[in-house]
Chains A and B, each alone.
Chain A
Amino acid sequence: MANIISDETIDYVGILAQLELSDQEKEQAKKDLGTMLDYIDKLNELDVTGVSPMSHVFPVWNVFREDQVTNGDDHENMLANAPEEKNGQYVVPKTVE
């Protein structure tokens, strides 16, 4: 394997991806990521000098509209999905001391 993924790298990726991995999952992830990157490195065979990156096939631009409310108050339905709610608000663990 050409791409060796270090413990530091996989921990960093875990932070970015907001995932908590068990030791076993970490080892598997290092292997999987390395294998995929080896495969993706095939792109290095291509000369892309001067080629602009294309994010969308069609040109996209900001879509502007008047700031008018078109949907009704769906407060109750939205909150119905909340894992925890109180007084019409989402409840999360305390974030500031």
Chain B
Amino acid sequence: MSVLNLTAVSLGKKIQAGELSAVEATQEVLAQVERVEKDVHSYVSYDGEAALKRAKEVQQLIDEKKLTHPLAGVPVAIKDNMCTKGVTTTCSSKILSNFVPPYSSTAVEKLEAAGAIMIGKTNMDEFAMGSTTETSAYGITRNPWNLDHVPGGSSGGSCAAVAANEAIYALGSDTGGSIRQPSSFCGVTGIKPTYGTVSRFGLIAYGSSLDQIGPVAKDVRDCATILSTISGYDSKDSTSIKREDYDFNQYLGQDIKGLRIGVPKGYFKEGLDKEVADHVLSLAKTLEAQGAVVEEFDLSLVEYAIPAYYVIADAEASSNLERFDGVKYGYRAKEYNGLHDMIKKSRSQGFGPEVKRRIMLGSFVLSSGYYDAYYLKALRTKALIVKAFDEAFAKYDVILAPAAPTTAPKIGSSLADPIKMYLGDIYTISVNLAGLPGITVPVGKDKNGLPIGAQLIGNRFREDVLFKAAYAYEQTKTYEMCDLAQKGVN
């Protein structure tokens, strides 16, 4: 059986049992990368030689019984906004084209300690600003299900890599839906945990109060195992939290009888594609048959989440991205007149249009005279949105939502109208504002054969409910691979 048919946990098991070696697994994945990368372009960079060298070292430790982690020897792809020591980390931006981090992000360090084999760094929207992976300075990524369509974004490379079997699993990051939306478009499973669960240390910041790292994988069990591995309190991240539970596997297989599922009526009205709506609601029916209680309700303030989000995220981005000035690292303009001109020119030549757009909006809403009217207003709106979710979770254990209003759009059809693109984030964005966990699971395909994902949203710290419900649903179906992913599967 091909390695490419396996989930991360099942591959890890075979490696521990000696049925397969980490080197064989890595070779198979690299062969698949060679086959499909020219079409999909999931990676900004990958290094087969380094991966094989690492696989040999890891295999030795496994042979010596020094590495027994379920993910030991399993090949992974890392989004290119997570620092990797000695490996170029670009954020898909020209401004970081030559940046080689002197340290690794905590999430990556934890995976490495577990014996993960990194294949490469995945493509993304520049600085995670976008929903299509088309704003990357290093070319677009294509959806493995249909190469004429986008994979979603901003973790489009990570989700495409998993869907195309160019990695067994991946890490993504999610500021306004950047794990959950591309997971939906690519037919894979991805979770954004409660804010503060995974350390942001070494994650190049976009909107610090919203950013979270999370797993992208073939199934719910993989996500639980990966999340258990990368989460934990970290003194290097001042917003890191101390949770009571860090073992998320314990929730898989738990009974969902009596689970209260709330379906926000406003989410299933105009603007949502009919096929997407039907498939998402089918998840509710499946869980209802297993004893869950499904009820429609009014979630208030839905239409205010996007404007509030873009004020907050862009304000934070304008501040976070000040550091890219061509002084200590990154791109420096070739010709300039004095220090300030050097900084201005380096930034102007180094950032792409979408990043500039957001930095300018962020600078504007923070400027004196507008701070109260825009920034503080958005923070007050955020407080109301948090309250609306608190009220919902007093009645329901989990909220069912789409991950996006449509399936993956065609390449080239989104960037011309930014507001329209931003509106596509309507079901994911409020989850970041409220710091909630959300998971996307594949629920079917539309008439054009493009995947549809459903999103389950839980209360803060209640990943247990998400894993329980998503796993129960997943037991009723099998993971479907796209044709391209099966190229190398015997």
Q: Which residues in A have some Cβ–Cβ distance to B below 8 Å?
A: 9-10, 12-14, 16-21, 25, 29, 32-33, 35-37, 39-46, 48, 51-58, 60, 63, 65, 74, 77-78, 80-84, 90, 92-95
Given A32-B418, A53-B379, A90-B327: A60 touches B239 (CB 8 Å cut-off):
yes
Shortest CB-to-CB span from A82 to chain B, Å, is 6
Given A55-B209, A60-B239: A40 touches B374 (CB 8 Å cut-off):
yes
Q: Which residues in B have some Cβ–Cβ distance to A below 8 Å?
A: 98-100, 102-103, 195-196, 209, 235, 238-239, 241, 301, 303-304, 307-308, 310-311, 318, 322, 325-332, 336, 338-339, 341-345, 347-348, 351, 356-357, 359-367, 374, 376-384, 386, 418-419, 434-435, 460
Q: Is the CB of A52 within 8 A of B380?
A: yes
- Of the residues B209, B329, B383, contact of A51 by C-beta under 8 Å: B383
Chain B residues, CB < 8 A from A74: 102-103
Q: Is the CB of A13 within 8 A of B435?
A: no
Shortest CB-to-CB span from A4 to chain B, Å, is 14
Q: Is the CB of A92 within 8 A of B345?
A: no
Q: Knowing that A18-B343, A94-B339 touch, tell me 8 more A-B residue pairs with CB under 8 angstroms.
A: A16-B366, A19-B344, A20-B348, A40-B311, A43-B381, A54-B379, A63-B238, A83-B327
Shortest CB-to-CB span from B132 to chain A, Å, is 17
Shortest CB-to-CB span from A21 to chain B, Å, is 7
- Of the residues B196, B347, B361, B386, contact of A19 by C-beta under 8 Å: B347
Chain A residues, CB < 8 A from B339: 92-95
Shortest CB-to-CB span from B375 to chain A, Å, is 8
Closest A residue to B308 by CB, please name it.
A43
Chain A residues, CB < 8 A from B307: 39-43
- Of the residues A9, A32, A57, contact of B460 by C-beta under 8 Å: A57
Shortest CB-to-CB span from A29 to chain B, Å, is 6
Q: Is the CB of B342 within 8 A of A18?
A: no
8 A-B pairs closest in CB distance: A53-B379, A57-B435, A81-B329, A83-B332, A77-B102, A48-B380, A54-B383, A16-B363
Shortest CB-to-CB span from A23 to chain B, Å, is 13
Chain B residues, CB < 8 A from A12: 367
Chain B residues, CB < 8 A from A94: 338-339
Shortest CB-to-CB span from B325 to chain A, Å, is 7
Chain B residues, CB < 8 A from A43: 304, 307-308, 311, 377-378, 381
Q: Is the CB of B383 within 8 A of A19?
A: no
Closest A residue to B102 by CB, please name it.
A77
Q: Is the CB of B195 within 8 A of A52?
A: no
Chain A residues, CB < 8 A from B344: 18-20
Chain B residues, CB < 8 A from A93: 336, 338-339, 342
16 contacts between A and B (CB under 8 A): A17-B318, A17-B363, A20-B344, A29-B360, A36-B361, A40-B365, A53-B382, A54-B382, A54-B386, A60-B239, A74-B102, A81-B100, A83-B326, A83-B330, A92-B327, A93-B342
A78–B342 alpha-carbon span in the complex (Å): 21
Shortest CB-to-CB span from A86 to chain B, Å, is 14
- Of the residues B103, B239, B360, contact of A56 by C-beta under 8 Å: B239
Shortest CB-to-CB span from A44 to chain B, Å, is 8
Shortest CB-to-CB span from A58 to chain B, Å, is 6
A48–B435 alpha-carbon span in the complex (Å): 20
Q: Is the CB of B383 within 8 A of A53?
A: yes
Closest B residue to A91 by CB, please name it.
B327
Q: Is the CB of B374 within 8 A of A55?
A: no
- Of the residues A36, A55, A58, A78, contact of B102 by C-beta under 8 Å: A78
Closest B residue to A16 by CB, please name it.
B363
Chain A residues, CB < 8 A from B360: 10, 13-14, 17, 19, 29, 32-33
A41–B339 alpha-carbon span in the complex (Å): 37
Q: Is the CB of B348 within 8 A of A21?
A: yes
Given A19-B360, A58-B435: A36 touches B310 (CB 8 Å cut-off):
yes
Chain A residues, CB < 8 A from B378: 40, 43
Closest A residue to B325 by CB, please name it.
A18
A94–B342 alpha-carbon span in the complex (Å): 11
Shortest CB-to-CB span from B376 to chain A, Å, is 5
Closest B residue to A53 by CB, please name it.
B379
Chain B residues, CB < 8 A from A83: 326-327, 329-332
A65–B195 alpha-carbon span in the complex (Å): 23
Chain B residues, CB < 8 A from A36: 310, 361, 418-419
